[in-house]
Amino acid sequence: MRYLLIVALLALIGATACGARKAAGDGPWVDLKFGRDHPNIDPDDWSLTDGPFSMKCVKKGQPSVQPTFVSDSRFGKALKIVLTPTEGKGTDNGRDKINYTILKGSDENAPTFDGSTVYYKFAVKLDPNSFDTPTTGKDYIIAQWWQGAPFGPPLSLQILNGSDPKDNPQIAFAIRNRDTGANPSAKVITLLPKTVTELVRGQWYEFVVATKFGFNDDADLKVWINSDDTPEISWHGNIGYDPSLGAGDLGFKTGKLDRSPNPKMELYVGPYRDRQDSTQTFYFANISYGPSKPSATD
């Protein structure tokens, strides 16, 4: 009896630990519906808890509005993230960030270069009354697959600059590899969706992103948006950096040139932008990650 109690206690601790994930084969390994056990945002570090899952918030620059959970007619609850006008370069390379760590590189099921395909799903909506389409800056990221500092993310979903803040922002997926270079300022491979080319304010967009990472012309990317039929993006090539290479091999000229990319990816969701005099309010919901393709319509 004592043995059974100890086993049960250890299982409970493992299920509620920071960043807890399900074991391989039990996918989805991450499942954030924001409807269970009163999801919570810590007022001190803005970390998020949702039932057995706990997500660290990565803040940089001048974010001033704490993320909150709000009621939503479609998903029940959604995570609201706001970036307000900021100025000056500061000490964070002139960038503002509120990102939630969906998966850490140390997690057992983090994406790696093992030939397997994994699926990352999330829904995003722009506030109809509080979203200025950016007209300046570069690399406005709202989701990313990251291989560690100082390297730019091998894969990211970006909002493109418009000519007018009232425009509906266009979107694109950006790819980095050894050919593009890993420096965050490197020229990326830009992939545009076939039909869902922009985000209309006030509408939900569900993304299902299938990735097989590779650096020997063996990577695949497929993206579905609000549909389970033909992918909006289907691409083959190289995504990510060979972990045996150093920063000097990947386009860096200064710094720790022998520093190597991590062997696994980290997954983040949330805005990451150049500092600017504009406001963007996002809603995120229905976030999952696992070995099987989920629906892009639920």
What's the mean pLDDT in 207-221? 98
Cβ–Cβ under 8 Å, residues 78 and 289: no
Q: Which residue has the tokens 């229905």?
A: 286
- Token digits for 46? 């803005």
What's the mean pLDDT in 264-291? 96
Any idea where the domains of the chain sit in the sequence? 2-290
**Number of H helices and number of E strands within the chain?**
1, 18
Q: Output 254 or 170, whichever has higher pLDDT.
A: 170
Q: What is the pLDDT of residue 187?
A: 92
| CA 268/CA 98 separation, integer angstroms | 10
Cα-based angle 257, 275, 184 (whole degrees, multiple of 5)? 25
Q: What is the pLDDT of residue 197?
A: 98
Residue 52 banded pLDDT, cuts 50, 70, 90: confident
Residue 91 banded pLDDT, cuts 50, 70, 90: low
Q: What is the pLDDT of residue 266?
A: 98
Look up the pTM and report it. 0.90
Cβ–Cβ under 8 Å, residues 57 and 63: no
The CATH code of the domain at 2-290 is 2.60.120.200
Cβ–Cβ under 8 Å, residues 66 and 59: no
Average confidence score pLDDT of the chain: 90
User: In the chain, at which residue ranges do the beta strands (DSSP E only) sit?
Assistant: 30-32, 40-41, 48-50, 53-55, 57-60, 68-72, 76-83, 95-103, 118-131, 140-146, 155-159, 171-175, 189-191, 205-212, 214-225, 233-239, 266-274, 280-290
